[in-house]
Amino acid sequence: MSFQAPKGVKEYVPPQASTFYAIRGAFAEMARRAGYAYLETAVFEDTQLFARGVGESTDVVSKEMYTFTDRGGRSLTLRPEFTAGVLRAVLEYGLHRGQLPVKLWTHGPVFRAEAPQEGRYRQFYQLDLEAIGSEDPAVDAETIAVAWQWYSTLGLTKVRLLLNSLGCKECRPIYRARLQEFLRALDLDEATRARIEINPLRVLDDNRPEVRAQLEGAPLIGDHLCADCKAYHDRVKQLLADLGIPWEDAPRLVRGLDYYTRTTFEFDHPLLGAQSGIGGGGRYDGLSEAIGGPQLPGIGFGLGLDRTVIALEREGVALATPPRCEVYGVALGDEAARVMFKLVSDLRAAGVAADMAFGGKGLKGAMKGADRSGARFALILGERDLAAEAVQVKDLTTAEQTEVPLAEVVDVLKGKVQ
């Protein structure tokens, strides 16, 4: 075949796909228990939503977005992140006019035009959770706790929580001026110098060794927080400590998007090398106003499904996943195949994962299919079994075989596999 998946697109096929499905399901349950409702948002949005929300000075907007003009002449962009689209939906459908905070979660593919490498793809998958409409340290701590407990539930033991505060509209301008003064004295390229004037915090997020070496003496935001921001940050840390969630102060952590304020965090996994960040987020109290909405504080995160799968593999964690098939039907002859088809359907209706051999295979070929299916039991039905109104139930782990009346086989197998 001459076709392949586009470069930089991560796809999941069995058996790895079962792990992907399991970790997504575990998060859905964690979010449900914490009172977060599920929503689906558009995969593409008006380009200006991301330009105004994420920030035109960010690499995401300036270099990495998949933007196209549709047949109506509108500029649209495949979502490079979830938060702006989720907040747009909250405002568009008036969810913020009800109980606050609005607590939502979603998941799906996200798109960025990056150089593909392990853990960094052009189409990748995220779990997103947002709490919109409340400025309360407890909401910040709860948000972080949902993600931390999810990682713990999966069995990951090496995840680190990096924590910082980026201040507010009162103290950030003072820090911004100090940082600009420091950065202007460095030996930086023209593009980076331009960034200093637009959003100097973005320079702190630069991973190039020649830039990072010059940032050692940069002023830290933590030294410039106002009294309210410091008290807020201390409260978040205390609440996390009450939950037994360890954190590490990360005074240079700024994340990659412009909308973050106050609480900012990242989940890091040391076994992933250069792409060690497996999730993160923060507070975005000015984002609603930036996209034309009312003043509406919020906090949220995006967790990388792809990197979580890699982290599980690196730690050697094998998740328990439901079997694809528990009972496999082997029918010998047309009439037996017709009866087996109905029997398999009845097993599925009873909650048993069941499949059967198709295509009129002989006994040997059909039993090979039973072994490959991973089923624990095989049902063997031939002409003599039909005459006796019975079916042979073979335990594929012990090779023990028993005859069971057709009328009882669903109940018998349901009792064995559940």
Give the Cα separation of 315 and 303 in Å (integer): 18
Please determine, for residue 92, whether its predicted confidence score (pLDDT) is greater than 90: yes
For 2-14, write each residue's pLDDT tens digit.
999 999 999 999 8
CA gap 209, 313 in Å, rounded: 29
Q: What pLDDT score was predicted for residue 15?
A: 84
For the segment 159-170, what is each residue's pLDDT rounded down to a tens digit?
A: 999 999 999 989
pLDDT tens-place string over residues 278-314: 999 999 998 999 899 999 999 999 999 999 999 999 9
Q: DSSP labels for 34-54?
A: TTPEE----SEEEHHHHIIII
The share of the chain scoring above pLDDT 70, in percent, equals 98
Mean pLDDT of the chain: 92
pLDDT at residue number 256: 59
Distance CA 143, CA 281 (A): 9
What pTM did the predictor assign? 0.89
pLDDT at residue 45 is higher than 70: yes
Query: Where do we find the tokens 């400590």?
Result: 241
Q: What SS3 state is found at 187?
A: coil
For residue range 328-359, what is the model confidence (pLDDT) as tens digits? Answer: 999 999 999 999 999 999 999 999 999 999 98
Mean of pLDDT values over 56-78: 86
